[in-house]
Amino acid sequence: MKRLFALCLLALSLALAQPREMRLFIWSEYMDPAIIKAFEQKFNLRVRIDLYESNEDMLAKLQAGGVSQYDVIVPGDYIIPTLIQLKLIQPLDKSKIPNLKNLDPKFANPPFDPGNRYSAAYQWGMSGIMYRKDRVPTPTSWGVILGPGADKPFVLMDSIREMLGAALRFQGKSINTRNPAEVRAAGQVLLSAKKNPRFLGFEGGVGAKNRLVAGTATYAVVYNGDALKAADENKNVGFVVPREGAALFLDNMAIPARASNPEAAHQFINFILDAKIGAQLSNYNRYATPNKAALPFINPADRKNPAIYPDAATMQKLEFVLDLGKDTRLYDEVWTAVKSR
């Protein structure tokens, strides 16, 4: 009996000694492994990471059972109202996230989640054109990809709102238009681009980056951080926001409604919002930080880089992607037609 009791105590002690687990669902190449290691060591837990390449992929996975499989997700701005409406994410316990105070005020009360009830800002950036400087001059318009005269190999972004947004801006329309005729016309622009023999396909940012670095593509629609990483690998890679404008994004951290470890999830969000950790994240990702307390620790060269922190003139050309409620169905229909034809 004593032996059995001792064995039970040993099993219990071993179980307690095992590190807890937190599961993170995040965009690919969007997290510094050193940050994960530091978090694991500080809180004595193991972080498991799964990856996605679009907000829509992430949403589909949550609806297919992922809402109970993950503890932290990193959704884009426009998808958050949908996550809230579908009850796929839970309100944050702000008492467990004291570092929320570090957010820049302009990111602390976003229109898609007033008062940060469900989310906390992670990184922000923009879409645009990545190009090979050794092959072509700096592009000024979406026309080098979306126009009838596009004559160099190009990749389109596999993201519904950014890509339809590019086509809309190319036609002088808002990324957030609710006009069916304008959205369908943007779809026709993308269908015409698909028919161009120089079209290489739809890719996530990492895939597009690799194609440009390898030289198989001359142009690609990407997020600025992917372009800057590509430039680190090949000095002939450049990035520009076309004169017509592009999408501005704010990615955020949120906790799925049935997360198995919400305690660790809150600890993780608070950890990322630490000033020095926030700076480390942006220095790694090459995206702008929404963390005002982190700015003094950002690499000086990045802080001055307009491809990361755009000037006022560029900011005026950028447009936040907003949730369109029931009109989202129109974009879904047009995008499905573009991808399937």
Going by C-alpha positions, the residue among 106, 105, 118 that lies closest to residue 79 is 118
Binding site annotation covers 29? yes
43-58 core/surface letters (b: 16 or more CB in 10 A; e: else): bebebebebbbbbbbb
CA Rg, the chain, in Å?
22
Q: Whole-angstrom Cα distance, residue 252 to residue 230?
A: 24
Going by C-alpha positions, the residue among 36, 35, 32, 12 that lies closest to residue 22 is 36
Two tokens, residue 303: 């802080």
Q: Is 311 helix (H, G, I), strand (E, B) or coil?
A: coil
Q: What is the 3-state secondary structure (H, E, C) of 142-180?
A: CHHHHCCCCCCCEEEECCHHHHHHHHHHHCCCCCCCCCH
Binding site annotation covers 244? no
Q: Whole-angstrom Cα distance, residue 326 to residue 324?
A: 6
130-152 core/surface letters (b: 16 or more CB in 10 A; e: else): bbbeeeeeebeebebbbeeebee
Two tokens, residue 315: 């900011």
CB atoms within 10 A of CB 224: 27
Q: Whole-angstrom Cα distance, residue 269 to residue 35?
A: 12
Residue list for the binding site for spermidine: 29, 78
Residue list for the binding site: 29, 78
